[in-house]
Amino acid sequence: MSIEEIISRIKPLDQSAMSSARDRQNMLTKPQGSLGRLESLSIQMAGITGQVRPQIQHKVVTVMAGDHGVVAEGVSAFPQEVTPQMVLNFLFGGAAINVLSKHVGARVVIVDMGVAAAMDAHPQLISRRVGLGTANIAKGPAMTRAQAEESILSGVEIVEAEIAKGLDILATGDMGIGNTTPSAAIACVVTGKSASEIVGRGTGVNDEGLRRKILAVENALKVNQPDMKDGLDILSKVGGFEIGGLAGAILGAAANRRPIVIDGFISTAAAIIATTIAPQVKDYLIAAHCSQELGHRLMMEWLGVTPLLDMNMRLGEGTGAALAMSLVEASCKILDEMATFGEAGVSEKA
């Protein structure tokens, strides 16, 4: 399998299914358009899946973890050892994403894409480690181009394995101390915005930490000179292994006509990489929420997506995406289960 092959499999939305879904929405027992984005979301779901009345049975949140050499620049309020500690917390069901996934009936798939510590084997941990964390992007490239490609293809393979088990909607999540810094660098590359317009406080750094973080992004862009039109180049120079894995998961889901609910800042950076590689993937994206991270709204504007929620969240892990999944499911149930005027014997407007 190659990235080019995956790109070739990402097709336009099914316009016929969307038209039929729109017609059905207009016949349901309500004023046309009165359910707002629930209506447009269900029509997008019809186009993605090719089903006039799409149904969601098997929800999956994939949480991909990786470490980042840029933490040496003092960009995080937490030490790097928190990454493997939180992976263990995911595995034992104690994190926010475990609680919210259980709440919405989603299964959590946890992937080690490049944690910079030894991780004991665990039946619920998928190990696709590309390296022991990335290199320091403030000093040079995060990884080689071959490693960038490996991370993307690993993400594709993981999602396709889950599709074989029944996955019909994917939510993306992340874990990696320091990963808002490479995500900000990715956003700066494609949007053309300055680091000070994109970089936020991440885990909650103080003013001095924010200054160091902005400087780290500025140095990363200056040292690496990523090509804004080449997603693999951006990923290899200023990205992360878990960001690459999520980008691959997004590409793999789109290639298999599955909707992708993208979480916050890091997942949106992964979506930017995926969209730079394959612009047609954008139609398969559903933005979960607007993160508190400074540049997140600018990133979503670049992608052309509008978030479903605005909850002042900034945790990551896929928490916002898990919550948004319930809205996507609700939109499909409205389209499928609600009666039409004819079925209900309700008079339409004069």
18 CB neighbour count, 10 Å cutoff: 19
- Catalytic (active-site) positions: 317
Tens of pLDDT along the chain (350 residues) come to: 899 999 999 999 999 999 999 999 999 999 999 999 999 999 999 999 999 999 999 999 999 999 999 999 999 999 999 999 999 999 999 999 999 999 999 999 999 999 999 999 999 999 999 999 999 999 999 999 999 999 999 999 999 999 999 999 999 999 999 999 999 999 999 999 999 999 999 888 999 999 999 999 999 999 999 999 999 999 999 999 999 999 999 999 999 999 999 999 999 999 999 999 999 999 999 999 999 999 999 999 999 999 999 999 999 999 999 999 999 999 999 999 999 999 989 888 75
All domains of the chain in start order, with CATH:
3-54+334-344 (1.10.1610.10), 59-328 (3.40.50.10210)
Query: What is residue 350's predicted lDDT score, i.e. its pLDDT?
Result: 57
> Cα–Cα distance between 214 and 233 in angstroms, integer?
21
Q: Which of 229, 242, 237, 111 is nearest to 180 (CA)?
A: 242
